[in-house]
Amino acid sequence: MQEATGDNAVNNSENTPNPQAAELEALRAEVAQLREESLRERADLENQRRRLARDIEMARKFANERLLGELLPVIDSLEAGLSVKADTAQHLREGMELTLRQLLKVATDNGLVAVDPAGQPFNPEHHQAMSMVDGGGHPPGTVVQVYQKGWLLNDRLLRPALVTVSKHD
C-alpha cells in the first residue's frame, strides 16, 4: 500500500501545477508576444519611412508644377508675338510690354519682388555696390544708379541689386 501512496504522491505532484513552471511559461509567452509586436512595429516603421521617401520625391518632382503652369500663357504670348509680322517697332514693343506684365504678375503671385533701390540709402543686405561716385547732390551712401535690379523671394534675398553709391565729398 505504500507503493500506491508513493505513486499517488508522484501523480499528485505531476497534476499540481509547479508555480515556477507556470511563471516560466507565462514569461515565454510574453517574450514571444513582445517579439511579434517589435517585428510588427519595425515593419510599420519601415513602411512609413518608404512612404515618406516616396512623398518627398513626389513633392520634389512636382514642386514647380503650379509656377510652370502659370508661365504657360507667357510662353504662348511670346510664341504668338514671334509668329506675327509686326508693321512697326512700336507694335513689337507693345507686345513685349504686355508679355513682361504677364510674367511679372506670375512672379509676384509666387512671392517674387523686385528690389529697385534708386534714390534710397544703400543697404548691404539687399544691394551690392559696384562703384562709388561723387555725391552730385545726393546724400552720402545713397544709391544713385541701378545696373541690375535685385530680387526677393518670399522676403529672402534671391539676388542683390547691383548699384552705384554716392560717397562723401
Residue 71 class from Cβ within 10 Å (0-12 exposed, 13-18 middle, 19+ buried)? middle
Looking at domain 111-169, its CATH architecture is: Roll (2.30)
CB 138 within 8 A of CB 165: no
Band of residue 71 on the pLDDT scale cut at 50, 70, 90 = confident
The pLDDT value recorded for residue 1 is 46
Domain map (residue ranges) of the chain: 2-61, 111-169
Q: Mean pLDDT score of the chain, rounded to an integer?
A: 86
Residue 88 CA: distances (Å) to CA of 81, 84, 94: 13, 12, 10
Mean pLDDT for the stretch of residues 77-88: 80
E-assigned strand segments in 4-57 = none
Mean pLDDT for the stretch of residues 9-20: 63
The pLDDT value recorded for residue 88 is 80
Mean pLDDT for the stretch of residues 29-58: 95
**pTM of the prediction?**
0.61
